[in-house]
Amino acid sequence: LGQTENLSHGLPPHVQAVVSTQSTGNKERRMSLFKTSIPGLKKILNHKYQSRDDSILYKYVLGPFWNYILQFVPMSIAPNLITLTGTITLLINFLAVALYAPTFSEPLPTWAYVSSALTLLFYQTLDNLDGKQARRTGSSSPLGQLFDHGCDSIVITIQAVISSCVGRMGIGWISITQLIVTAMVPFWLATWEEYHTGILHLGVVNGPDEGIIIISFIYLLTAYIGPDMWLKTVPQIFGLSKEVFPSFLQNMQFNTFFAFVAMTPIIITCFVNIQHVTSYLSKKSNPKLGPAFQHVLTGLIYVGCISLWFYTSTTQFGSNSVWISYPRITFLAVGLGFGEMVSRLILAHMTDEPFEFLPRPLLPLLFTTLCLSADFLGGFAILSEKMLFIIYLVLVSLSYYEFVKSVITHLCKLLGINVLTIPLKKN
């Protein structure tokens, strides 16, 4: 207790009260799920979000436009409420698209393509307004950063599914690859770079700025030309003879071709993330590249489990696979686990504490994948896939709910703020 009192010196009185309560009894877990140490609490209190956006489009077009829109946002609106509004809007569009494209391959009504473009642009706008509103109202906080990026980490899965439906990609390897390569891997590496360098660095051309504009334009182009363009072959799209193209492109559908073309700049960005971290750590007197790249391996294990689960499931069970029978629930389930894992990495960055090699959100996915692999390779079925999926869905949902509830509750108490409202003194 004496050590606790010494360590808590310098913390605000309401934080010292929390620390004292948690140190003298077992009724409350110390910082609950994320088990933050007292020095970690001090880090959170002093944490300042740092970002750098080198996008020319942001500098000359998007930034000024968002600053103009900001003046119409009432000072009483909390930044997190802006973030949540954008997320819910995108989720509503996700559900609307699901009604018309249950297998990711059906053509959508024209209005659905327009809606997908507008809701994505609306989300992009609100996703940038929240930080500006926080600085404008003096309500910036670590919780705001975690809330913002936490929503982003869920939205990437929602948006990947919508893109698969717009491109009529079906429930197959193209949709899975798009989710992994264009959404999860770059998001993980960007967060990993921020964890080690302390700054979120967006390049001259990046996904949150140019990427979203391009995707929205493609949605609108699909509404104008028609969804059948995605099912045409590459030669048909360009109006050229097959002989002009390499053999592997002659019969390739345009949606497949476009998906792989879109992955190219994203893969380059991933290598840039790795280069930034390597360069930053190499300048230190005692660079620890090994532990840093363990976190990369953590992300690769997660997406590797998704790939292996999809392969063993669809190969063994065909149309009875949960990926085919319940595609959106399955995509959202693995997206939810990914969202919690990203949020835990961000929290570790804020507290300047180590990040586990096998974090809790990875364990249910790892267990499910190993069970299905044992069944696939050796015929050793512990449980049916549907039962495993139900268990996985329950575990990942409860874990995410408990984590979010715990983080919001404790950070609001520590920082003396509310999550969706601005205190009157700040208002």
Whether 355 contacts 345, CB under 8 Å: yes
Give the residue ranges of DSSP H helices in 101-211. 110-137, 142-166, 173-177, 185-197
Burial of residue 98 (CB within 10 Å: 0-12, 13-18, 19+) is middle
Torsion sign across C-alpha atoms 312, 314, 318, 324: positive
How far are the Cα atoms of 34, 88, 334, 358, 389 from residue 344, in angstroms, in the given order? 8, 22, 16, 12, 23
3-state secondary structure of 139: coil
246: left (phi over 0), alpha (psi -120 to 50) or beta: beta
Return the active site residues. 149
Say if CB 161 and CB 331 are below 8 A apart: yes
Rounded Cα distance, 73 and 75, in Å: 6
